[in-house]
Amino acid sequence: MPAPPETVAPRLDWPDFARGASIVMVVLLHLFLLHYLYFFYGFPGSDVVNAVVDATLPLRMPLFFLVSGYLAARAVQRPWRAVLRPRVLLLVYLYLVWVVVNAVFDVLREQFGQGGPVDVPRFLLDNLLWPQTTLWYLYALLLFFVVARLTRWVPVLPLVVAAAVLSVVGTTFFDGLPQHLLRSLVFYLLAARAPQLIDLLVRRSGWAVTTVTGVLAVGLTALYVATFADLGLLLAAGVASVAFAVQVSVRVAAHPLAAPVRYLGRHTLAIFLVHPFVFILANDLLLARPGVAEWMRDHDLVVIAYPWVLLAATLAACVGVEAVARRVGLGWFFALPSRTGTAGAAGSPGAVTDGPGSPR
């Protein structure tokens, strides 16, 4: 007698909402660092953008990696043959494709008189050895999954404690990519190896508990932003902020007004991959037309509204690029082609839907 079909759990709203909130914070960060800082820093409204970027530091990537680890919890326990393609080859493929896309983009900018000369072989080699662009998050997802898979025999408590120590060490003594990796690993491992703790947090998302968590998160984050001194303070602020974000996500994710954020959360891959190009092109435009930037700086309301309008436009453009690519047969930019030669299913590698409470 054939086995009954596997029960399909309903898709959870809160991980999509949490990822959507995280990607908005990440895009705002890069908008500030890659574009806004060069043209409008010190003008009206820039202090608000700067404050938001600083205040979300303990939250934006820890939240993303926590949700990614949570959704990878089942895959971590599966045999390699079951996860090699969707969890390893997918990330390797996307990383290689988009390193080439970045190189081609730089060459085209050079041809149009924007940017400096491009040493393509050196660029490709450097990025194959060590990520040099915002693509580092694909590298991190692959590395974190492999670490979680290889250490599944290690008890959860010592593993998470070791990752927490590395987080503090990374924040204190490293810069750049090593710091990002060491700071984020603990959140991925915690959720991937102990998803029941996240489930417990989800169940304890009543307004009273959420309010207490929020006060703690705000207090620790404010203390960190005021001092930028760290001997575990950033990690503590991150833990409290992520816990608060999960609790809020559970409370509000199902509301109709949260639908746009959930939608962004289902398209984090495309947004991560495409959004830096928008800001580089915006730089090229304002450098080519300096009068435009001068006019904007002469109008306070324009300068104040500009980053938020650009943020919304960038998010919409990234989702639009993905939709058009899939419609015209270029879905392989965002998904590993199937064995029949067609692009695989849509989705983010950090959001593969096989975690607890996911649809399959």
What are the residue boundaries of the structural domains of the chain, listed by start? 13-351
At a CB cut-off of 8 Å and minimum separation 6, what does 92 contact? 142
Q: What is the DSSP letter of 11?
A: P
Runs of H (alpha helix) within the chain:
13-31, 37-40, 46-55, 60-71, 73-76, 80-83, 90-111, 120-129, 136-150, 156-173, 176-193, 195-203, 207-227, 233-252, 259-265, 268-288, 290-297, 300-327
Tell me the DSSP string of 21-42. HHHHHHHHHHHIIIIIHHHHTT
> What is the spatial distance between Cα 295 and Cα 282, in angstroms, rounded to a whole number?
15
For residues 53 and 341, give the distance between their C-alpha atoms in angstroms, rounded to a whole number.
42
CA 4 to chain CA centroid, nearest Å: 38
Tokens of 141: 């997802």
Taking a C-beta distance cutoff of 8 angstroms, is the pair 185, 166 a contact? yes
Whole-angstrom distance, CA of residue 64 vs CA of residue 18: 7
Assign 174 to helix, strand or coil: coil
Q: What is the mean pLDDT for each group of 10 consecutive residues in the chain (360 residues)?
A: 48 94 97 96 94 96 97 95 95 96 93 82 90 92 97 96 95 90 96 96 90 96 88 93 97 95 97 97 94 95 97 98 97 87 53 36
How far apart are alpha carbons 334 and 19 in whole angstroms? 17
Q: Which pLDDT score, from 0 to 100, does residue 278 have?
A: 97
Which of 189, 220, 347 lies closest to 272, judged by CA?
Answer: 347
Residue 342's pLDDT is: 59
